[in-house]
Every structure is written in structure tokens, then in C-alpha cells.
């Protein structure tokens, strides 16, 4: 099942008298359970593509279908609601709230809903990610890998269809990076969640189903991995 179908994405910025193309016509589809990495040099449009796929940004041209629904022209409020329902985010700098415990951080996306089941689910997710003994710890009491695992649990709290990760291993040593990538692979396989990871890290490519290379806002070569 196709989760995201993006066609002809163009993102233009006008700075001064110049027009900059962050994306210059990109087609991108994502199937459920797929683990895809997006690679490319700085300024190639990786983050812009990720933001558009994650409904944080809107393309200047082109269409985005999320589970078959056209979300291209939606306003901020509707995009926000859709993000909450179907998308999870993992960031390079983890971006956990320093004042909240691990469990509370995982609850954050649904915290305002006051749903008593959320806390239980947050616990289960953390236990699954091997943090059962760190539930009440604040982020500054956790290692980098543990923080990123809390962030992954947070991205899964809303049972998303897609998890978008921006440099998920960028701040981790390679050993910890492998553990995180193992988790991603497991989530993609077991939960049928599609994962897109923007990265510079070649290590990621050992785990993904395919890699998309971006060069100057266009898709370069695409390489499929074994499966």
C-alpha cells in the first residue's frame, strides 16, 4: 500500500532578485513498511523534501498524496492535525523537553488529549526499546543513544504510518547508531511503518530497502538494496 505519493515537487525561494530551487521536480513514492534513506550533499534539498513529506512545508508546485488523500493545498491547522494522526518525527538533536521525564516526553504528542491509555502505551514503547528502567529519568540523565530511543518512542506514540528521521544517527557513535538503525528496521518490519531517513551516514544504507540520492534538488541515481 502506498503511504506517500509525491509527484513533480518543486520548491522555489525568492531571495533578493534571485530565485533559488531547493527542489526542482521530484517524484517520490513510499510504501508501507519501507525503510528509505535520502542522501545528498548539503543544500541538495534533502531537508526540504523531508519537510514537505512531513507536511511541515508546502511545495511551490506538485502534489502530495498521503494515503491517497491530496494534502497539497491544506492549511496549517489541517496539516497539523494530519501530522498528529499519521506522522512521527525523529530529529538529529533529539529535541526532548528537558523538563519532562522519558515517559512524559513520549506522551508529548498526545499529552493534551488527556487519554489515560497514552501513558501505558508510552511505557510499553519505552520497554520495547529497552528503556524499561529509565522511564522516570529526565533527558539529561540519559545517554545520546537512550535519548534517541526516547525520541523514537515519541515518534511512534500516535501509531503513525510514516516516521520521518532527520539525521537520526548524526549525533551518535557508530555502535549506538547501529542499535538505533536496528530499531528502525524492526519497526518498519514488525509494525509496517514506512521510515524515511535523511542522512549523511553511509552506515544507514546497510539497513535501508533503498536509497534516494538528491543532487541540486533533483533525484540522482536510486539504488535498491537486496530486498
Partner 1 sequence: MAGRFFPAALMARRNLTRTKMRSLLASLGIVIGVVAIASLGMFGVALQYSFTQNLGNVGNQLTVYPNSGENITELTERDIRSIRREASPTATVSPVKTRVEPVSYNREDAVRETIYGVENPAELYEAKEGRVSPFRSGALVGSNVAEEHDLHPGSQITVNGTSVRIRAFFSTNPDNRIIMPATSFSQRGYSEVYVIESTGTRANETAMGIRDALNDREERVFVQELGSLVDTIEEQFQIINTVLAGIASISLLVAGISILNVMLMSTVERREEIGVLRAVGYQKRDVLKVMLMEATLLGFLGGVAGVILSLGAGLAINHYAVGDAMAVFRLPNAWYVGAAFSFGVLTSIVSGLYPAWKAASEEPVDALRG
Q: Nearest approach, Cβ of 48 to partner 1 (angstroms)? A: 9
Between 87 and 208, name the residue whose CB sits nearer to partner 1: 87
Between 118 and 207, name the residue whose CB sits nearer to partner 1: 118
Between 149 and 154, name the residue whose CB sits nearer to partner 1: 154
Between 134 and 207, name the residue whose CB sits nearer to partner 1: 134
Q: Nearest approach, Cβ of 171 to partner 1 (angstroms)? A: 13
Binding site for partner 1 (CB under 8 A): 47, 51, 54, 56-57, 76-77, 80-81, 83-85, 88-89, 91, 93, 95, 97-100, 104, 108-109, 111-114, 154-155, 158
Between 158 and 169, name the residue whose CB sits nearer to partner 1: 158
Main-chain phi, psi angles of 194, to 5 degrees: -80, 135
Q: Would you say the C-alpha torsion 209, 68, 59, 108 has a positive or negative sign?
A: negative
Q: Nearest approach, Cβ of 226 to partner 1 (angstroms)? A: 33
Distance between the two ends of the chain, CA-based, in angstroms? 17
Q: Nearest approach, Cβ of 97 to partner 1 (angstroms)? A: 6
Q: Nearest approach, Cβ of 178 to partner 1 (angstroms)? A: 25
Amino acid at each position: 500500500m502506498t503511504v506517500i505519493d509525491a509527484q513533480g515537487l518543486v520548491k522555489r525561494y525568492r531571495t533578493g532578485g534571485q530565485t533559488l530551487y531547493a527542489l526542482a521536480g521530484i517524484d517520490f513514492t513510499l510504501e508501507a513498511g519501507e525503510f528509505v534513506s535520502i542522501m545528498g550533499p548539503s543544500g541538495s534539498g534533502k531537508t526540504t523534501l523531508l519537510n514537505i513529506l512531513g507536511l511541515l512545508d508546502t511545495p511551490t508546485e506538485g502534489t502530495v498524496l498521503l494515503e491517497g488523500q491530496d494534502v497539497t493545498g491544506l492549511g496549517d491547522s489541517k496539516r497539523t492535525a494530519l501530522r498528529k494522526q499519521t506522522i512521527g518525527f525523529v530529529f538529529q538533536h533529539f529535541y526532548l523537553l528537558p523538563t519532562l521525564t522519558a515517559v512524559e516526553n513520549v506522551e508529548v504528542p498526545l499529552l493534551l488529549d488527556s487519554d489515560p491509555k497514552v501513558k501505558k502505551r508510552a511505557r510499553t514503547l519505552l520497554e520495547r526499546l529497552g528503556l524499561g528502567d529509565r522511564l522516570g529519568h529526565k533527558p539529561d540523565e540519559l545517554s545520546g543513544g537512550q535519548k534517541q530511543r526516547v525520541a523514537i518512542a515519541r515518534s511512534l506514540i500516535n501509531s503513525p504510518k510514516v516516521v520521518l528521521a532527520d539525521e537520526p544517527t548524526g549525533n551518535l557513535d557508530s555502535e549506538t547508531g547501529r542499535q538505533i538503525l536496528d530499531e528502525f528496521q524492526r519497526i518498519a518490519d514488525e509494525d509496517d511503518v514506512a521510515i524515511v531517513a535523511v542522512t549523511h551516514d553511509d552506515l544507514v544504507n546497510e539497513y535501508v530497502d533503498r536509497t534516494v540520492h538528491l543532487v541540486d534538488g533533483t533525484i540522482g541515481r536510486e539504488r535498491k538494496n537486496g530486498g
